[in-house]
Amino acid sequence: MLKNLVVYISETGNTKQLAEEIYISLPGSKKDKEIIDVRSWNGRLDAQNYFVGFWVNRGTCSLEIIDILSSLHEKNIALFATCGMGSSKSYYDTLEQNIKVWIPNDNNFLGSYFCLGKMPSFVRDKYESYRGKCDDTKIDLMLSYYEESLSHPDNQDLLKAHLFVDKCLNK
Ligand SMILES: Cc1cc2nc3c(=O)[nH]c(=O)nc-3n(C[C@H](O)[C@H](O)[C@H](O)COP(=O)(O)O)c2cc1C
């Protein structure tokens, strides 16, 4: 059995970047750790510690991630994710709660790490298309999230991912 396994889903590359940083941060040689895109997941890999990563869509994660999380038992599990709609602690806490419910109780939850991830330009275009149909204040707020996300994940986010790994492994 592996010591550490990083499994992730990423549509546009932000979460993949974070996953690779987490993988690099993990101690041990290649026989102790593995990184895998969820689309190549066949359930055959097993580990003591799981670092499960996803991008946030409609306030939650994808079905593939839910399937993996709910299949795990007696493991140590850490979550990580990128998202675009804000970077407040309260938003991250809500996301953590939304996703944690899929982890069976016999696992040991190590914590979660969230950071912003840039969104494609069609998201901005969609918000702009709401002008005249929705409240301008709401549109401006969404556009400010879009703008804020554009430079992420940045070096600070990657450094924090590294620290997150250290924290999880010291638990
Ligand atoms: C179609 C779509 C829906 C999204 N929905 C959300 C959302 O509900 N909440 C959020 O915080 N971010 C949302 N985002 C932003 C993504 O989660 C963010 O850009 C993420 O970093 C993408 O990760 P990836 O590059 O690994 O695919 C959405 C992005 C797209 C393209």
Residues 88, 38 share a domain: yes
Residues 159, 136 share a domain: no
- Which residues lie below 8 Å from residue 44, measured CB to CB, with a gap of 6+? none
| Residue 66 exposed, middle or buried by CB count within 10 Å (0-12, 13-18, 19+) | middle
Identify the band that residue 170 occupies on the pLDDT scale cut at 50, 70 and 90.
very high
Residues 161, 94 share a domain: yes
Residues 88, 8 share a domain: yes
Select from 39, 56, 58, 60 the residue to mutate for testing ligand 1; criterion: most ligand atoms less than 8 Å from CB: 56
**121-129 vs 136-149: helix crossing angle, rounded to 10:** 170
Residue 75: per-residue pLDDT: 98
Q: Model pTM?
A: 0.96
**CA atoms 18, 170, 108, 35: torsion sign:** positive
Select from 7, 8, 21, 83 the residue to mutate for testing ligand 1; criterion: most ligand atoms less than 8 Å from CB: 83
Closest to 55 measured CA to CA, from 46, 47, 65, 41? 65
Residues 134, 89 share a domain: no
Task: State the closest ligand 1 atom to the C-alpha of 85, by its place in the atom list counted from 1.
Answer: 11
Residue 52: per-residue pLDDT: 98
Query: Which residue's CA lies nearest to atom 18 of ligand 1?
Result: 83
Say if ligand 1 is within 6 A of residue 14 CB.
yes
Residues 130, 107 share a domain: no
19: domain CATH number is 3.40.50.360
Q: Is the pLDDT of residue 43 over 90?
A: no
How confident is the prediction for the chain on average, in pLDDT? Answer: 96
Residues 111, 37 share a domain: yes
Model confidence pLDDT, tens digit, residues 56-110: 999 999 999 999 999 999 999 999 999 999 899 999 999 999 999 999 999 999 9
Q: Is the pLDDT of residue 42 over 90?
A: no
Question: Domain containing 122: what range?
Answer: 118-151
Residues 90, 7 share a domain: yes
Residues 122, 71 share a domain: no
Task: State the closest ligand 1 atom to the C-alpha of 116, by its place in the atom list counted from 1.
Answer: 21
Residues 26, 106 share a domain: yes
For the record, the structure tokens of 65 come out as: 């991630």
Residue with token string 């670092």 = 51
Query: Rounded CA gap, 169 and 171, in Å?
Result: 5
- Number of domains making up the chain: 2
Query: Rounded CA gap, 92 and 1, in Å?
Result: 32
Residues 146, 69 share a domain: no
Worst-scoring range by mean pLDDT, 13-17, 83-87, 106-110, 149-153? Answer: 83-87
Say if ligand 1 is within 6 A of residue 55 CB.
yes
Residues 131, 102 share a domain: no
Q: Is the pLDDT of residue 53 over 90?
A: yes
Say if ligand 1 is within 6 A of residue 150 CB.
no
Q: What is the mean pLDDT of residues 25-53?
A: 93
Identify the band that residue 128 occupies on the pLDDT scale cut at 50, 70 and 90.
very high
